[in-house]
Amino acid sequence: MELTVIDSLDQVSGADFDRLDSSAGSAACYERTRQREHDGRWRCRYLRATEHGRLTALIPLYTASGRAWPDPVYDPSGWQLPPAVRDDYAAGNCLLVGGFADLRTGFAVADQAREPAVLRELLAAIARIAAEQDRCLVFPYHFPDARQALDEAAGALIGWALLGREGQLRGVSEPGWHAGMRAGVRYNLRH
């Protein structure tokens, strides 16, 4: 497996990226991930893994641009983490792996690269990047299957915390599904 660090999704085909993981739907698709590159609150790089010329992983790595967290919700010191993993979580000390947008993110790693030995190699490369920058690793907003793969690869060294509950909209495909909602809610859903 060949590992490189790239600075933009422009260096990768959208179809190749979207093929890696669709678990988060449009929230983690190529175009939305690419849009996040232009959020001035964050600097973004990607760990790219290829095997025999085929993209097998493209993991976004985010660092905060400023000294303070862009929003308190991103600050891991406020999360319910186990005492064993608490540390200095100042914005300048963290490398966020996978996402920052306080919603579930995809895990752009192909199924064959989620095997513990392969994923361990990817995690070691990410850890080296973090160590070069003197940063700790933060894995926010991952779905359970990605968390399980990360745990198996890391030997359960990652401390996880529940950050909030997800909501579901039921009946969205039914005609007039939003008619009973308040005007403000309908406005927000449309936008």
pLDDT tens track for 52-89? 999 999 999 999 998 888 877 777 777 777 665 555 77
Of 51 and 106, more confident: 51
Stretch 137-161: mean pLDDT, rounded?
87
- Other CB atoms within 10 A of residue 122 CB: 22
* CB 133 within 8 Å of CB 95: yes
Q: Secondary structure of the chain: what % helix, strand, coil (to 5)?
A: 40, 20, 45
Stretch 128-137: mean pLDDT, rounded?
93
Instruction: For the chain, give the mean pLDDT.
Output: 85
pLDDT value of residue 116? 95
Of 53 and 184, more confident: 53
Closest CA to 96 of 56, 120, 65: 65
Reported as a pLDDT band with limits 50, 70 and 90, residue 3 is: very high
pLDDT value of residue 77? 76
pLDDT value of residue 1? 92
* CB 101 within 8 Å of CB 42: no
pLDDT value of residue 58? 96
* CB 1 within 8 Å of CB 50: yes
In this model, does residue 189 exceed pLDDT 90? no
What type of residue is 169? Answer: L
pLDDT value of residue 4? 96
Stretch 126-147: mean pLDDT, rounded?
90
Closest CA to 91 of 119, 115, 108, 72: 72
